[in-house]
Structure 1
């Protein structure tokens, strides 16, 4: 963390970056975080592509968190995994993340951003179904590697698309709204997943995630092309 602080301190800032780092707008007036978030919400509300992307991130984090909220119980009761087995399961996502990061440059060159987004979201939907169906620990670890790979690719491509579409002066404000979608979705999803698991068992949240994410993907499938090619007017 100290090294990160040192590296960030060496970044030369000007224009929009100065505004983000000092908390002041272009006129030098101090800003307030709630006002900034409000401006971000208003900007997103008037930009269809970025608004849809924010909604996708919100819904997919709700569904993902609903399933992952019972991951420990699911791995123990459904797969019969020990503490070590659960450690291997979660390590699988890290291994997949390394693979996805290493391959991203090649993927981006060969495929359009819209198709990369479609594949990543489709894999998310199928991953929930695969976890709901599997009873083998080793297979769950393999699926988790696949999850880590596409999750890191999705994170990179969604940030790329958003940053291309959002003007520099709104980057911080819109990012704040996106973080609210991410963590707000996770909090809501965990509560939903716990309630579903208590009533219908530890596999049910994965089916809920499969259905919710699948319906969302169908609704936004065609819009992903316009989202991927949205450009900033800055």
Structure 2
């Protein structure tokens, strides 16, 4: 029997880790402050859901194009330029908020532009990590576990209460902090080695490249399942997220400061989920774990919707976060291990487009459902929708299907390595 030793992650990874962690802290502050800022402008659930939908709409129009461009460009440059642009955008937004000029239109415009930046950043980061670390699934799981775990801890545990406290100091204060985190991330990523795209024999159009990536995803049953899983989930989660601030304020009767503390429950669970992802995969297989977490998410969201108080709802969010944390580590690592490098940006973008395409509809539907049936209704309906994920996971992302795809990817990599005599 051969015992595999775990190779240490390279020093460059620690720079990505630091950039990701600081950026996650800023996101936790921002995503706590944004609904509080909106809450000072309106209590209309439909308006809340419109702001949420604006952040996701760019994926519908530019998602595939962004992935095609990422595969043509230096992925490291895409990352630091995008974060530099987001630093400037949030900086301007902070100045507008400080001057009292923030309104729903400004919030929607800012959310939309941040969504454009996220297309390029997410597509490039998903493609950059396997280029840096290689395709070994265990190595990618370790790296993604650290990235996701740190992100959960800072974005979900430290960021939300900090966002609530900073918002109490002034509505522009958390925005200024978020801008600073984007700047730090840009400078850290700028120091990483460049990764120019591999030259291709014939240069096709951007649209043709985007189509190639989308078709690769749609024809690959496992990759399609890994994308459909979050698509179904996002419809439910965004429907809930669109009215969460109202639910916590009006139904659970928590104030602005405790709202940030409440959000940490999901992060606590997410942190444990990312830490346990590898253990669960070893015990049940990656496919078995993905089916298990799908069922847990459905039950957890149902419990949140029926919760009689904030303590029970917080416990439900902790369980939900644990399932989501393990899912993100295992799903992302599997995709990174099996997609060819020259297609990584496009397939990542196509996967995100498919998974997020249901988000705007979910956000708007959640706002409408809360308006006509009450603030608990999106949680109960979302739990039923999440039940569909159990079937999706069991059929499309089984252990046998994942093992076959990893073996195929390993054979492709071996064939690409030149033999020296």
The normalised TM-score by structure 1 is 0.84
* Residue aligning to 2:302: 129
Rounded to whole Å, the distance in 1 between the matches of 2:215 and 2:316 is: 39
Report if the CA contact (8 A) 2:301-2:317 is conserved: no
Deviation at 1:5, TM superposition (A): 3.7
Task: Select which of 383, 391, 407 maps to 1:218.
Answer: 391
- Asked if 1:207 is matched to 2:385, the reply is no
Alignment RMSD (CA, Å): 2.4
How far is 1:153 from its partner? 1.3
- Say how many residue pairs are matched: 226
1: CA distance, partners of 2:390 / 2:397: 9
Contact 1:99–1:149 (CA under 8 A) maintained in structure 2: yes
Where structure 2 has 5 or more consecutive residues not aligned to the other structure, the ranges are 1-181, 413-421
The equivalent of 1:18 in structure 2 is 196
Partner of 2:356 in structure 1?
Answer: 183
Structure 2 CA distance for partners of 1:92 and 1:31, relative to 1, 3 Å: farther
Offset, 1:149 = 2.1
* Aligned partner (choices 343, 350, 369) of residue 170 of structure 1: 343
Residue 27, structure 1, aligned to residue 201, structure 2: yes
Aligned-partner Cα distance in 2 for 1:191–1:127: 22
Question: Which consecutive unaligned segments of at least 5 residues does structure 1 have?
Answer: none
Cα distance in 2 between the residues matched to 1:64 and 1:192: 11
Q: Counterparts in 2 of 1:83-102, with a 5 A limit? A: 83-102=256-275
The 1:27/1:219 distance shift into structure 2, 3 A limit, reads: closer
**Candidates 402, 409, 413, aligned match of 1:228:** 402
Cα distance between partner residues in 1 of 2:303 and 2:270: 19
| Cα distance per residue 1:140-197 (max 9 Å; x no partner) | 1122222222222111101012122322221111101122134322222101111111
1:63 aligns with 2:236: yes
Distance 2:245 2:393 in 1: 32
In structure 1, C-alpha distance between the alignment counterparts of 2:369 and 2:262, rounded to whole Å: 23
SS in 2 for 1:80: coil
Deviation readout 1:45-82 (Å, 9 max, x if unpaired): 22122122222221211111112211112122322222
> RCO greater where, 1 or 2, for CA within 8 Å and sep 6 or more?
1
Measured after TM superposition, the shift of residue 102 of structure 1 is 3.1
Q: In structure 1, what is the Cα distance between the partners aligned to 2:263 and 2:323? A: 15
Residues 192 and 25 of structure 1, relative CA distance in 2, 3 Å threshold: farther
Confirm whether residue 79 of structure 1 aligns to residue 248 of structure 2: no
Cα offsets for 1:25-51 (capped at 9, x unmatched): 42384863x443322111112212212
Are residues 1:159 and 2:337 paired? Answer: no
